[in-house]
Structure 1
Amino acid sequence: MRLVDTTWPEVRPESFGGRAPILVVPVGALEQHGPHLPLDTDAAVAAAIAAAVAAERDHAALAPTLPFGASGEHAGFPGTLSIGADALHHILIELVRSSTPTFAAVMVINGHGGNVDALRSAAALCTAEGRTLLPHPLGLPGMDAHAGRTETSLMLHLDPSRVRLDRAAPGNTAPLTVLLPELRTHGVRGVSPNGVLGDPAGASAAEGAELFDTLVERALTAFDRLPG
């Protein structure tokens, strides 16, 4: 169920198969994704995964996407808008608090790696308050770091009209573990002038569809562990 399509009397266990509903919140970012992917790539992917989870589980309630995140590392690129980790932490805490007692738990489908610290700290505080916030990162072994083949394939699957393949170019292809020290000091601009960490070459909608299905299955597995 999409919360934006409901009225308040409909948000009750009877509307969710007689079970206490679980709130599913996609969280993304508005930040550069190289010269070929849209600024809301992280939010678009998270929203699609969250929608797929809600479509598969009767007791899932899909919240609107939180489109901004902690994207300070991308500040050197025009168009990037960041609310920072502290603000994101507080938004998530208040969101979970306000969801109680209607929802048994909150699952955050997170499309942006920069949000991880805020999600982790928010989840810890929620646990201390007796509430359940499950951060679920969208990652798979072998995925490149940013705006490379993985995200390009996913966007070619989800919305190919928004991908500028004619502008796609490789960025810094060094492993993220190698780049992290300089990345923390100088941001993405300092290690990759075009904003890409990886290489979009070889990306395809078919590969994106396979990646998407795998990410959905992982999200469903995590969802099914929640009380509700």
Structure 2
Amino acid sequence: MFGDPATELAHTAWPLVPSDALVLLPIGSTEQHGPHLPLDTDSVIAEAVARRAATAVPRALVAPTLPYGASGEHAGFPGTVSIGHEALRTVLVEAVRSLSPWAGRIVLVNGHGGNTATLGTALRLLRTEGHDVAWTGCAVPGGDAHAGRSETSVMLHLAPEHVHLEAAVAGDTRPLAALLPDLMAHGVRAVSPSGVLGDPTGASAAEGHRAMDTMVSAAVRRITAWTVDNRGRLAEPVPGESAHQVVRP
């Protein structure tokens, strides 16, 4: 469903690991996604993007998904499991240090927005240490913030058996920039009792398929260009720029 089994690191015997492999490590979360989406939504999406991208990039292997992230803003909902920024940073740093002796390059494929600050601090350290690592996200251009139409559509495409559309409700539909102060101060539950930030109305598997194609194409494009900003994030390539460089946004 998600890609070629030959790209799975967990299913590969060590003598078959290619020299200087490109390792894609999906980073997700276990957190509430409203009354209609499963707790592993971010992990499912990150893993799917990584697996599909790996089939288009030479010598790529997909490492097992990290299912826990920094999800403290969702702590008011049963089921959420957050390891926090400090623990996540330690896990990312030690994982990359362990991968580096045999991997050529490492890409952290992130599915949860709450992980981004930690990714920035971890990758600044790792790149200072000389590791060839970067990260990229799985955002849907123009999508809503959390458990709305965008994520619901993607999950209807990837795992429809775990989507309960009959329970879907609209949440706070303000842009994330407007919501962020309240989210940071009080958490998601204070802003949206359902946990939804957006509106799932109109979500469809067809829309989700198109969104996945967009996210995978972006990941492949960024990985191929390998233009890394000062937060360790893979940037969109700019026509006329040479690859394999660091840019300062």
Q: TM-score, normalised by structure 1?
A: 0.94
Structure 1 stretches of 4+ with a deviation exceeding 2 A read none
* Structure 1 stretch displaced more, 148-157 or 85-94: 85-94
Residue deviations 1:42-74 (CA, integer Å, cap 9, x gap) = 000000011101122231111000000000000
For residue 183 of structure 1, report the CA deviation from its aligned partner.
0.9
Contact 2:18/2:59 (<8 A) preserved: no
Instruction: Name the CA distance, whole Å, in 1 between partners of 2:162 and 2:100.
Output: 37
Match of 1:79 in 2: 79
Instruction: Output the aligned Cα RMSD.
Output: 1.0
Please state if 1:125 is matched with 2:125: yes
Q: Compute the displacement of 1:139 (Å).
A: 1.3
- Counterpart of 2:203? 203
- On the 8 A contact 1:12/1:102 being kept in 2, the answer is no
> Which is helix-richer, 1 or 2?
1
Secondary structure, counterpart of 2:200 in structure 1? coil
Partner letter of residue 208 of structure 1?
A: G
Q: 1:25, 1:107 within 8 Å by CA — same for their partners in 2?
A: yes
1:168 positional shift = 0.5
Distance 1:194 1:120 in 2: 30
User: Residues 79-118 of structure 1: CA distance to partner in whole angstroms, max 9, x if unpaired?
Assistant: 0000011111111111111112211121011000000011
Q: Which runs of 5+ in 2 are unaligned?
A: 1-6, 227-243, 245-249
- Correspondence for 1:4 among 7, 10, 19: 10
1:111-169 deviation line (CA, Å, top 9, x unaligned): 00000011111110011101122110111331100000000000000011110000001
Q: CA deviation at 1:225?
A: 2.5
Identity %: 52
CA contact 1:123–1:132 (8 Å) conserved in 2: no
Q: Which residue of 1 aligns with 2:137?
A: 137
Helix, strand or coil: the match of 2:109?
strand
Higher relative contact order (CA 8 A, sep 6+): 1
